[in-house]
Structure 1
Amino acid sequence: MTAHAVRTGVWFIGARGSVATTATAGCAAIAAGLHPATGMVTETPPFADSGLPPLTSLVFGGHDTLDCPLPKRAEALAAGGVLPHGLPSAVRAELTAADTEIRPGGPHPGDTRTDEELVAAFAADLTDFARRHDLARTVVINVASTEPAPAEDDTRLPASSLYAAAALRAGCPYANFTPSTGLRSPRLQDAVDTCGLPHAGRDGKTGQTLLRSVLAPMFVQRALPVRAWSGTNLLGGGDGAALADPAAAAAKNAGKERVLADTLGAAPEGEVHIDDVPAMGDWKTAWDHIAFDGFLGSRMILQTIWQGCDSALAAPLVLDLARLLARAHEAGLTGPRPELGFYFKDPDGGPAALSEQYAELLAFAGQLRAAR
């Protein structure tokens, strides 16, 4: 293939969900010049010469257990104000093309296939996708609903780990944008250690935790002890329904608390509560209440409110990750990429503060540039 013909696959786990639909529609809109690349860090000047695959070269597919076609899902998102009015019609051809590349996920209720059979089937889907589209490589990104953490006595791999294992078997770089287990299962450790592929993080950092990774270092740097840090999330849509399960919510909150513990040295008092409010649709409100000590013991409080659309916050980040991991793979980089901690609540090592993570990301862009 000539350089201009090289194409890169982006395979979403949860390909008919809000995040994947928004990312697929958004990529098409940006590539066509219909909208600017707002929120895409990889479209800023520091990444201009890093050899990232152009947005026009990305080919989308994925796994999902739902059967709602992408054009219809995009129309629902536009009706809810997530996508601009008229965009689903403008990029219908691209959404339809991506929808034809979505394969049934699993395991479904009553599915009698073993873990090995499921992994083999998912890996075959990836291999077939790459072959039919003559792709240089495919990046697999998990954007499915949060699953509960597996119990110690579980004899089966969780679904997220089945998909992750399939990505490794098919030779695909992988990122887990959810709190689900993914590659972090002990049963996959040998495969992870020997895969020779770049992979990144767990649980995307889009809203409340993004603010925490900025504010927590401020308190440390100003020598202001934090006494308590409490939060509440109100959200609807698929995430709200999934996180109504206490076990799934606990998996989600672990990442939020980790940022504070890593930055402050210990987790402060306080918890994060997640409430499912179906009427909010794909929008969410996150509120934080921070109690801290000032000079001579004066008691102070900082409160923050973050209101936004999770899928619109996440979509540019998963496009960034797809491009960065594809380029890392092309450059021969392997293993966990702590340089991508900027995007995750639970990164593969590295600093916890956003400013330091951003500096590492810029250094990574320079490393990719030098490898051209």
Structure 2
Amino acid sequence: MADEPTGLWLIGARGSVATTAISGLLALRAGLAPPTGCVTERPDLAGAPLPGWDDLVVGGHDVVDTALVKRAEQLADSGVVPHRLLGPIAAGLRAADEEIREGYHPVTHRGSQADAARRLGADIADFRERHGLARVVVVNVSSTEPPVPATPEHDDLALLEEALADPARAVLPPSSVAAYAALLAGCPFVDFTPSTGIALAALDQLARRERLPYAGRDGKTGETLLRTVLAPMFTARALRVRSWAGTNLLGGGDGATLEDPAHADSKIVSKARGLAALLGDDVTAPLHIDNVPDLGEQKTAWDHVSFEGFLGARMSLQLTWTGLDSSLAAPLVLDLARLVAAAHAAGEVGALGALAFFFKDPLGSDEHRFAEQTRELYRWAGELG
């Protein structure tokens, strides 16, 4: 219900996106910034029973110990957080820092993954109880992981739980351990990354057993957002797209992570799937991701679209998108926390396909056309009350 105290538990709580989201939340509460980029503040969603900014309490897990105040200062130097906000939000950042616990790291963890999940879940349950929260929404904004090979345990909850209890096995990647822990703690889960996370049949079974909603995956903030708007235009006008090539240049933590081809594969697959759904598998769609440390938090995406018109006339469209990814992602994280909290309060269970609007690779929906996703979001939110 609206106005109930609600937890926002961030996996990767000291990363760029999380720090920007926390900083923005503090600024919104204090009236120091307008809710630019926050979809839940649009008039179309005014009737949805969402928790307010003052109702959100922040905590999280991370494997790094950089203080949030320090991260916010770094983001201010990159143009993400205004310098004028650092003083007014410093106390709030320090308070949020006190609610961040050590995350799961497979290299340093001793014991079974079931033990790790119990510890993570206990952290969230303690947070919920200490603050008297009606519910906690867990949002994964940690670094992108490489794809993981499928195993029988990923498709069957009983097999998965048996494997998780074996200290000699690591059957789940960290993002999925976090999802498993959240569900066991009775919390809805949002995967804002292209990592495996909750996108396993066994975890869907667990979510349904525990009567919990979830959403994901891979937040749609820049190049893919443009593609889901523009690709339907070509289809509607009966223009044949021959190829759609893209190049992403980025720095910061994402750039460093995605420099590893194994990690980049998750992002490339996620971005390509939507374009294939919109235009068909026969469209050539090469995509490159390059780390350019000098760019810092900035990301530049360049696309070249080759298309064919009447009588085979060859034409092209080129576009460039330059943005601060954390600034684009952070308000969506806050939106998703509010919307998924409302879905949980309304008793919804399983993948929230109506939230496809927010994701490159939406769970629970095959719809990738942005206009249709927008209409579905508004329809769904209007029925929550």
Name the TM-score, length of structure 1 as normaliser.
0.96
CA–CA separation in structure 2 for the residues paired with 1:53 and 1:72: 29
1:224 aligns with 2:239: yes
- Structure 1 residue 197 corresponds to structure 2 residue 176: no
Query: Which whole-Å CA distance do the structure 2 matches of 1:366 and 1:187 have between them?
Result: 31
Q: Is the 8 A contact 2:109 2:116 kept in 1?
A: no
For 1:357, the equivalent position in structure 2 comes to 373
What residue in structure 2 maps to residue 243 of structure 1?
A: 258
Instruction: Note if 1:331 corresponds to 2:329.
Output: no
Equivalent position of 1:149 in the other structure:
147
Q: Which amino acid aligns with 1:66?
A: V
Structure 1 equivalent of residue 164 of structure 2:
none
Letter in structure 1 aligned against 2:267: K
Does the Cα contact within 8 Å between 2:176 and 2:196 map onto a contact in 1?
yes
Note the C-alpha offset of 1:247: 1.2
| Structure 1 Cα separation of the partners of residues 210 and 216 of structure 2 | 16
Indicate conservation of the 8 Å contact 1:339/1:350, yes or no: no
1:267 CA displacement? 4.9
Deviations 1:89-141 (A, max 9, x none): 11111111111000001225232221100100000000000000000100000
- Give the TM-score taking structure 2 as reference length: 0.93
Quick one: which of 118, 121, 124 aligns to 1:120? 118
User: Aligned ranges for residues 16-55 of structure 1 at < 5 Å?
Assistant: 16-55=14-53
What is the CA–CA distance in structure 2 between the aligned matches of 1:88 and 1:105, rounded to whole Å? 26
RMSD: 1.5
Aligned residue number for residue 210 of structure 1:
225
Which structure 1 residue ranges, 5 or more long, are not aligned? none
2-structure distance, mates of 1:54, 1:155: 39
C-alpha separation between the residues in 2 aligned to 1:245 and 1:184?
Answer: 22
Amino acid in structure 1 at the alignment position of 2:320: I
Give the partner amino acid of 1:365.
A
Q: Give the conservation status (yes or no) of the 8 Å contact 1:231–1:289.
A: yes
CA contact (8 A) 2:2 2:52 kept: no
2:60 and 2:99 map into 1 onto residues whose CA distance is 7
Matches within 5 A, 1:152-191: 152=150, 155-191=170-206
- Shift in alpha-carbon separation, 1:201–1:110, aligned structure 2, 3 A: closer
- Residue 189 of structure 1: how far off its partner (Å): 4.2
- Aligned residue for 1:213, secondary structure, equals helix
Shift of 1:270: 2.8
Q: Secondary structure at the match of 1:233?
A: strand
Residues 166-211 of structure 1: CA deviation (Å, up to 9, x unaligned): 1100111111000000112344343133221111121110000000
Residues 290-312 of structure 1: per-residue CA shift (max 9 Å, x gap): 00001111100101100000000
Residue 137 in 1 paired to residue 170 in 2?
A: no
Deviation at 1:85? 1.4
List alignment gaps of at least 5 residues for structure 2. Answer: 152-168
Indicate which of 360, 367, 370 corresponds to 2:383.
367
Taking the aligned partners of 1:50 and 1:189, their CA distance within structure 2 comes to: 26
User: Secondary structure at 2:194's aligned position in 1?
Assistant: coil
1:309 maps onto 2:324 in alignment: yes
- CA deviation string 1:261-282 (max 9, x = no partner): 1111225113110000111111
1:183–1:192 CA contact under 8 A, matched in 2: no
Residue number among 11, 14, 31 corresponding to 2:12 in the alignment: 14
- In the TM superposition, what is the alpha-carbon distance from 1:152 to its structure 2 partner? 4.2
Name whichever of 353-362 and 343-352 sits farther off: 343-352
Structure 2 Cα separation of the partners of residues 326 and 88 of structure 1: 29
3-state DSSP of counterpart to 1:110 = coil
